[in-house]
Structure 1
Amino acid sequence: SHEDILVKLIRLAATTLQRDDLELLFLGQTTGLFFKGQPMILYGSTLLSYCVAFSLKRAVKTIFECWATTPAMNDVIDPNNYHGRSACHLTGMLPIHVAVVNGLQGMYDFLVDLPGIQDCVPLRSHALTTTSNGTWGHLDPLGLATMLGDQRMFKHILRRRATVLWKWGPVTSYQMTLEGIDSAGSSDNDVMELIARGDSKYETRHMLDDSFLDGLIHKLFLQKWNAYGRKMWLVTRILSFFYIGNLIVQSQSLKFLHAKYSAQCFLARNAPDRRLRPDNEFCKPFSSEEDGGTNMYL
């Protein structure tokens, strides 16, 4: 098959090419308009990402095995280094993100576990690895599935991160960390924030439904609203009320003062005794070309 040929070529390259050539082969990025369109942009830009996108597990395994056996490749392959050249220069995706955007649950599990490759434990993809700067910058796999509205992949990743507490027949109790889910985190791309965005997808917003994961996300929003949101909303509304009230009072006061000074100047300038006419800047006439030379009084 074509994958068998690819495996042979990868092994041949790892044993014969020099360091610079290996970097060019495994870290080279695809360029051109063709790779910027759909669905090519979802395949990543490196050889490893393309193997992941097409579920070529044997090819991925061969690349990792060559990393373990070839000294020249030690620093070339790093599927978790989002600051390095392993990330796609267009989308910022690493191999595990490529598996997520293409809905490849089996490939996701393979990258996280690397079964049968004991010497490549450092190359296991981390569940919290974020994308680099790009179209989908700074998103971990769970956040990426949330933004794309892929509920099936979201459930799979969440179950992978959960720990089974107990089982009783068909009932299972899970425990999971809220890192990357709760909006209290250091990132602004947590699941709760992605769902609440105004430009989120229809499928993403429906993660708030009671039927989705037994209302897990919905319950989190309710808990945060009851604990913090309601109080913060009341404080902001009270501050807004006083701010608007202050603007109304100030505008009415200025309007009253303007009318008062205008009336005083009018009466003073029309007084029969010139000694009663005030000589202050508030009642001095002025004219301009814009108003046709009409005298105006402040």
Structure 2
Amino acid sequence: MVLSHPPSLSLLCLAVEYLLYPTGAVGENVLHVAALYNNKEALEVLLDFYPFLINEAILCDLYKGETILHIAVVNQNVMMVKELLSRNADTKNARARGSFFSPGKGQCYYGEYVLSFAVCMGNEKIVNLLIKSGAPLNAQDTQGNTVLHMLVLHPNKTLACRMYDYLMSLITIDKIRYLESIINNDGFTPMKLAVQKGDVTVSMFNHFIKRRKQVYWAFGPVTSTLYDLTGIDTWEDELSVLDIICTSKEKNVRELLEVTPVKEVLHHKWTNWGYKFFFLWTVLYILHIVIFTICCVYRPLEPIRTKMNVTIMNLKPLSVSMLSDLTPSFTGGPFHIIMLVTISMILRFAGSDGQTTILALALICAWCNVIYFARGFELLGPLCIMIQKMIFGDLMRFCSILILVIIGFAAAFDVHFQALNPDVYVYFSDFPITTFTLFQLMMGLTDLPGPPSIPVPDIIIFLYMIYMFFAFVLLLNVLIALMGDTHYRVVHERRLLWKAQIAATILLLERRLPKWLLPRLGIPGDAVGLEEGKWYFSVEILFFFSK
């Protein structure tokens, strides 16, 4: 953009050219050029002769929908904006929807509407002029975002908070509540959008909370403050602030669990009913898997003598043990365990011996699932998180590399052992057995197998040394280093991680338990002289005064 004003004669020449050729290279007309160069005098002359061009938009896909009012607002030319508004420039329907103004694609996502552009620029005079001219505060762009949503998305949070306060000073309290309740296409109100974006530094979320709180009473250093729970609590809200915190992929969102009143709401729910229900759930689950284990261990078996005169135990026929076989299927439990038991029953009715394998997997899953219940205890919760992160993070990355290494070396060993006697080198008789042997070698479970009296070819010893150095020394130590790094990060975040687990547990209980079992949090607004239909949560804060 050129900042200096070109001569008026040049602009008149441009005007003649644009009248002969109505639009330029990007679909702009002569008024767009005048506005772009901040030349108010030329703009007035052109509008006197061609007033019908005032609301004409740029036509190309890049800047589609941009009008001269948009340009004047972005240039923060107050006098030009005032002149355009006096000539009835459109403030309600003009929308800059080109790819240059699209979120994610363009560089200037300002909310399409003129007022949203002005708010993002932070110019209070222009914002005031536009609102007085009838620019709607509730206009939603293609993404469903209003002016308040755009302030949440603004990178300069200090400017955003200042503009929010200024906008709120221009409208009534009822209008404020209406604007704060508008949801965008993703189902987020402005406050919920602030949470979803992980806004925790100069936080718009904190700003929303501070404006919505009411000081109920004060007694010396103690102050009781009522916080509006609308949008924060999960009661009759499928996408509350707590839901967003628990499901967001933004790492710093967890820091909002330390913000008042979210911190107090979680503490109150957990200590009053969450811990009790979760403890009961834990006891019932452990009882369930104990019964399930007993049913599996004491299955109906009968002794059978083999041809080698050895007695082994085998399942009794289904007609003899129908009731005992059905017992494990009615013990309940998590979905994956129920599915494994169901598959086992199907195999049992089909007469297949595969049910033993399925039951073994079900038992492993059932007992390992007890780790899930560690989240409810502050001592074990961080350990549960650490195990989860190591399994699905460090171990998965390690295994993906290890598989490639083992397959490569197994193929190399198998090529050489194919020329040797398989009866002598039984641990390298074929490719699958060689692969398993290399896994044992890597874990240090065995030495290079083979009879000591028969010399091993030098090339195999060479491959063995390379493999042990690469797989055993290098990869295993890398895995240990990765797990050490995960342990360090989890230890330093253990309090927030545990609170996130508690929040997720509370949400799970609220979704599964019937409403009549759970007391509603807070105080009804009409009971404390506030807005009827809303609920408020009281937080007492003690201030210490020092001389």
TM-score interval, normalised by the smaller of the two chains: 0.5 to 0.7
Amino acid at match of 1:105: C
Corresponding residue of 2:141? 88
Distance 1:252 1:58 in 2: 79
Q: Which moved more, 1:33-42 or 1:52-61?
A: 33-42
Corresponding residue of 1:48? 115
Q: Which runs of 5+ in 2 are unaligned?
A: 1-37, 39-71, 286-330, 355-547
Identity in percent: 21
Corresponding residue of 1:174? 225
Mapping for residues 88-167 of structure 1, pairs under 5 Å: 88-89=141-142, 91-102=143-154, 103=157, 104-114=160-170, 124=176, 126=178, 128-133=180-185, 137-151=186-200, 152-167=203-218
SS in 2 for 1:182: coil
Amino acid at match of 1:157: F
TM-score of the aligned structures, taking structure 2 as reference length: 0.36
Corresponding residue of 2:244? 194
Amino acid at match of 2:151: A
Q: 1:127 to 1:5 in 2, by over 3 A?
A: closer
Mapping for residues 162-241 of structure 1, pairs under 5 Å: 162-169=213-220, 171-186=222-237, 188-197=238-247, 199-208=248-257, 211-213=258-260, 215-216=263-264, 218-219=266-267, 222=270, 225-226=274-275, 238=333, 240=335
Distance 2:84 2:175 in 1: 20
Query: How far did 1:9 drift?
Result: 3.6
TM-score of the aligned structures, taking structure 1 as reference length: 0.62
Query: How far did 1:189 drift?
Result: 2.6
Q: Any conservation in 1 of the 2:145–2:184 contact (CA below 8 Å)?
A: yes
Aligned residue among 247, 255, 268 for 2:343: 247
Q: Any conservation in 1 of the 2:92–2:136 contact (CA below 8 Å)?
A: no
Q: Is 1:29 matched up with 2:95? A: yes
Amino acid at match of 1:12: E
Q: Any conservation in 2 of the 1:79–1:94 contact (CA below 8 Å)?
A: yes
SS in 2 for 1:255: coil
SS in 2 for 1:143: helix
Pairwise CA RMSD of aligned residues? Answer: 3.7
Deviations for 1:152-179, whole angstroms, at most 9, x for unmatched residues? 2211211211111123455432112222
Distance 1:138 1:177 in 2: 20
Distance 1:230 1:243 in 2: 25
Query: How far did 1:125 drift?
Result: 6.3
Query: How far did 1:182 drift?
Result: 1.7
Q: 1:9 to 1:221 in 2, by over 3 A?
A: farther
Instruction: Flag the structure with larger Rg.
Output: 2
Distance 1:28 1:112 in 2: 24
Corresponding residue of 1:265? none
Q: Any conservation in 2 of the 1:51–1:59 contact (CA below 8 Å)?
A: yes
Q: 1:237 to 1:192 in 2, by over 3 A?
A: farther
